[in-house]
Amino acid sequence: MSAKINDMYYAYSAIEDIKEKGEYGGVVTTIMKYLLEEGIVDGVVGVTEGHDMYDGVPILVTDPADVIKTAGSVHCGTLNIAKFVSKYLDGARDMKLAVACKPCDAMTIRELMKKGKIIEDNVIMIGVNCGGTFSPVPTMNMIRDVYELDPKDVIKEEISKGKLIMETADGEKGIAIGELEEQGLGRRENCQRCNLKIPSNADMALGNWGVIGDLAGKATFIEVFTEKGADALGKVIDAGLIATEEPLEKGIKIRENINNFMLKESLEKKDVDYAGTTGDIIDVFHMYEDEFSKCMKCYGCREACPLCYCDDCCLETEGPEWVPGGYTPAAPFFHLTRLVHMVDACTNCGQCSEVCPCEIPVAKVWSIVNNKVRDIYGYIPGMGSDDPLPFTDHVSKAKWI
């Protein structure tokens, strides 16, 4: 095996069509294709474009020729892939899967593994660095109104050097991400306070951060975190399907600095979001009483939540703890019941807020309460006892927990 835990590489694909279509050398796609061709996995899970680049949809690929459909990034793919694996693929009980996952996907998959809802031995997690995702409709409106571009003309978007850059055939236009988010635009709110940018709880993490020199924009930075990841990557390298180089020391430092800067921003966002929430859990709910009073008990948050997985839900009409809606307010008891069931496991993926028709900041409240649970018990959802934690110069263990 040519790879081992803690190894770091610059890498790019030796397969030309993948190298051309995939971002930064097409390494993720190459790894996935090899694992499927060799029968190491039975299927590959990723995200592909649906109607357009603003419509990210999950996909299960079982034919190696189709893996290229997952190439490239879909930053408006706001779904949490863990739900797709646990609910629609039966938690990988009967098939081995390679799953491309951003940090909140990886955290949720790990949490579901702890609860026996996803079979750890049957999943290889190919983690991808993530600075945040964007809600489709607000993003299209932002491109039209702020960037003064036609959303249909945008061929790629990227966060780079503190700017959100939109690329068209005529060139690029970038605006400081901070300016956009001060106006309530840019990344989804939960992404702004996310504590994990490099998925160190996956089997390996890949991204373009820290790739400098001649390979800048042409290669991927890989870091290996588990024996499973080292074994899979080593086989791809030994097969000659990706070329690797030792990363430059300056590049390693740049990657670390980018990660630290983003984590520092996340802490600042959390300070804003958590301001005034010094009481207990009921006090937090009381603060948001007016927001929760809008709840019409549509069950959207429950259906979207990847960690709300009971086969028989006590909140259904026939359940013993049924909480009525309609003329009798569902809030706060509907949400308090859900909270008791899963708030310890919340990974701040934002699915609940994404689907709420009443625009209740469910994810924000869940994040506040989840962090109170961390303060008391020190339990960090989505991270195993042996996983490296994303502590930085700016983020101490106490502050992160």
Q: Could you tell me if 281 and 369 are in contact, meaning their C-beta atoms sit under 8 angstroms apart?
A: yes
For residues 63-86, average pLDDT: 89
DSSP 38: T
Q: Of 372, 285, 374, nearest to 335 (Cα)? A: 285
What pLDDT does residue 321 have?
Answer: 53
Q: Measured at the alpha carbon of residue 89, what is the angle toward residues 83 and 94, in degrees to the nearest 5?
A: 140
Mean pLDDT is lowest, of 26-40, 98-112, 329-343, for: 329-343
**Phi-psi region for residue 161, left (φ > 0), alpha (ψ -120 to 50) or beta?**
left
**Angle of the 227-238 helix axis to the 27-37 helix axis, nearest 10:** 90
Share the mean pLDDT of the chain.
88
pLDDT at residue 324 tops 80: no
pLDDT-derived band at 392 (thresholds 50, 70, 90) equals very low
The bridge status of strand 123-128 relative to strand 204-207 is parallel
- Domain layout of the chain by residue ranges: 7-133+187-267, 278-399
